[in-house]
Amino acid sequence: MAESDNIVVETAEKIFADLADPQTINNDKKNSWQAPLWQALSDAGLPLAWVPDDLGGSGASLADGFALLNAAGRFAVAVPLAETMLAGWLLAQAKIASPEGEMTVLPASPKDRITIDADGSLSGRARGVPFAKAAKHFAVLAHGKDGVSIALVDAGKARIESGLNLGYDHSDAVTLDKVQPVTIKVAPDGVDQTNLMLMGGVARSLQIAGALESMLDISVRYSNERVAFEKKISKFQAVQHNLARLAGESAAALAAATSAADAIANATSFNDEVYLEAASAKIRCAEAAEKGGGIAHQVHGAIGFTIEHILHRYSLRALAWRDDFGSESHWAVELGKLVASRGADELWPLVASR
């Protein structure tokens, strides 16, 4: 990891450790932790890490931002950090300056679509939009007769139906009904809804991998503290086997997610290699979230399911992140279509080169 990566991650981890301690947050029923955390992240320029300096951001590299998202996953951060980073990245593709405050992207599902009306207004419905209720602005990818455009929209002009995901974070339905955007510009070549979903999928994969790392740490620590039949449960072969399986799922998720992030950071476009890496990472990390979360709760027994324990902050969010920006079943089908259309012989050299 480069020095700049270390600086970004160390800054973020210090903020998370000071203001996003999972146990403190778990005991805070009034959510008084959110405002100080967001303010600290904003002061450090982290939500707009992927926005160039001349557009109001921090100008960090894609690699820096991906490392930051992995760190956020290790703390199960429940603020729209990833969403604002993605929104800033999308706006920057069209040279649109990012405003201050929380943002999220529309759409957040491959099957939803926002269209551009004849008068330049935007219409459409997007479901399962992370943190839409908390956002002040939306970065919107919209389709019109002249192709794809990117727009900045005032969230106050949209109709938002509140919803919650498995982690009890906002996952809302957003309806735009002839909403005039603050700014709209034609998207550059290579920026489309599929690539936005891939970018979001890799972000979620890194967060899932981070959450699994923490679930492993929590489970190992608990197994060394919990005593049953006069010895620590970590001494039981069945528990050791489960911890080894959890470590395997965590390692697999981290390898897949970081490989996909590396592919995007070093590519000049969203080519077939990026598609293979990003789609595969989302599939593998989603599978790891299901298996790893189940194992972690098995190690903890009943206590892991209680509201007082922090384990559910990680396991439920990891499961919720599986569905954002395309579920594993969606990407499995799309990946199969790519292999069928291009042929394994043509795609294998891309995989082997990694």
- pLDDT tens readout for residues 103-152: 999 999 999 999 999 999 999 999 999 999 999 999 999 999 989 999 99
pLDDT tens for 280-324 read 999 999 999 999 999 999 999 878 778 889 999 999 999 999 999
pLDDT of residue 348: 57
pLDDT of amino acid 229: 84
202-251 per-position pLDDT tens digit:
999 999 999 999 999 999 998 988 888 878 888 889 989 999 999 999 99
**Which pLDDT belongs to residue 207?**
98
Q: What is the pLDDT of residue 4?
A: 44
Tokens of residue 27, six digits: 């005991």
Q: At 5, is the pLDDT very low, low, confident or very high (cuts 50, 70, 90)?
A: very low
Spatial distance between the Cα atoms of 203 and 83, rounded to a whole number of angstroms = 9
Residues contacting residue 211 through CB under 8 Å, at least 6 positions apart: 73, 74, 76, 289, 314, 315, 317, 318, 321
Mean pLDDT, residues 47-54 taken together: 96
Strands 113-116 vs 137-144: parallel, antiparallel or unpaired: parallel
How much is the average pLDDT of 97-101? 96
Residue pair 236/278 in contact by the 8 Å Cβ criterion: no
Instruction: Name the residue with higher pLDDT: 338 or 89.
Output: 89
Is it true that the peptide bond before 107 is cis, omega within 30 degrees of 0? yes
**End-to-end CA, the chain:** 18
Identify the pLDDT of residue 1.
Answer: 40
Strand ranges for the chain from DSSP E: 103-106, 113-116, 122-130, 137-144, 147-154, 159-161, 171-179, 183-186, 227-228, 231-232
Nearest to 111 by CA among 122, 95, 127: 127
Closest by alpha carbon to 123, among 167, 91, 153?
Answer: 153
Q: Rounded CA gap, 295 and 196, in Å?
A: 32
pTM of the model: 0.94
Residue range 183-202, pLDDT digits in tens: 999 999 989 999 999 999 99
Q: At 251, list the tokens.
A: 């390692």
Structure tokens at 344: 């394994």
Confidence of residue 34 (pLDDT cuts 50, 70, 90): very high
Kindly report the average pLDDT of the chain as a whole number. 92
Return the C-alpha torsion angle 142, 143, 146, 150, nearest 10. Answer: 20
Radius of gyration of the chain (CA): 20
